[in-house]
Structure 1
């Protein structure tokens, strides 16, 4: 039996609760490489999750590195805010989720980093996984990065 968004993610107000736990991920970085690893969402308080990813980055030139990143996700009325994990926290973007015609929950936001611009889209799929896409453009950066997450059992 196929799960629907209601079965897997609920509405936008439930997404943060359902993110808690561990996820395997596969990332493709256009013209640069790929990364595989594990991302973990751990509760910080009633409305926040710590995001931590660890994995193996493989560049197109053959270089392989251990890599990771950290964020803080905070609940908002119809989605969440994502902050860089630094002191004080700095907002990366605010995501407001809406149901799409295909039954997924999606949300997008932009972020300027100096002269470069990040356009990010989050898609929470009906089958229970999710995808984060960052399209980065500007004088110093020009690539698209797509990360697909699957719940670890």
Structure 2
């Protein structure tokens, strides 16, 4: 399914249940919300439970800003710095974010109107893992 940045942006608002696997480190589950801020910006907030392979289990959250910028969709940290700039022209949009010496390659794919896949391949001098998240829209 080919999708434009505008179509992806329009498909995101609402509540989503998520399940995440962090290879070799743990997992997380919870609920995420994409809430409109303006006609071209969504506030993303997830709240869930993080379970690490070390035995730790506890609350976790994450926030981003999704900004529609012409033919691109920018995923930004809360302070406004851009993490990924997506220019979808196929079924999946990919971009790279450098965090110091570490590289986060993000893959974003809307499988259908109610299923979103986001994954990051994380590599660097001390990092080598994948974060794979599946989102399922919550009806209503």
Is 1:120–1:132's contact at 8 Å kept on the other side of the alignment? yes
Q: Tell me the residue number matched to 1:102.
A: none
Post-superposition Cα deviations, 1:49-82, rounded to whole Å, max 9, x if no partner, equal 0000000000112210100010000013334100
Is 2:34–2:43's contact at 8 Å kept on the other side of the alignment? yes
- Paired with 1:65 and 1:130, the residues of 2 have a C-alpha distance of 24
Post-superposition Cα deviations, 1:9-29, rounded to whole Å, max 9, x if no partner, equal x64422212210100000000
Q: Tell me the residue number matched to 2:52.
A: 59
Alpha-carbon distance, 1:128 to partner: 2.8
Q: Tell me the residue number matched to 2:61.
A: 68
Aligned with 2:98: secondary structure?
A: strand
Give the superposed CA RMSD. 1.5
Post-superposition Cα deviations, 1:117-151, rounded to whole Å, max 9, x if no partner, equal 00000011136301001000001321100000000
Runs of 4+ in 1 over 4 A off after TM superposition: none
Aligned with 2:114: secondary structure?
A: coil
Is 2:103–2:124's contact at 8 Å kept on the other side of the alignment? yes
Alignment partner of 1:17 is 2:10: yes
> Of 76, 80, 94, which residue of structure 1 is paired with 2:85?
94
> Of 110, 114, 132, which residue of structure 2 is paired with 1:124?
110
* Larger Rg belongs to: 1
Q: Tell me the residue number matched to 1:152.
A: 138
Is 2:11–2:113's contact at 8 Å kept on the other side of the alignment? no
Point out where structure 1 has 5 or more consecutive residues left out of the alignment.
100-104
1:14-53 equivalence runs, <5 A: 14-53=7-46
Q: Tell me the residue number matched to 1:143.
A: 129
Alpha-carbon distance, 1:91 to partner: 0.7
Aligned with 2:11: secondary structure?
A: helix
- Paired with 1:78 and 1:124, the residues of 2 have a C-alpha distance of 17
Q: TM-score, normalised by structure 2?
A: 0.93
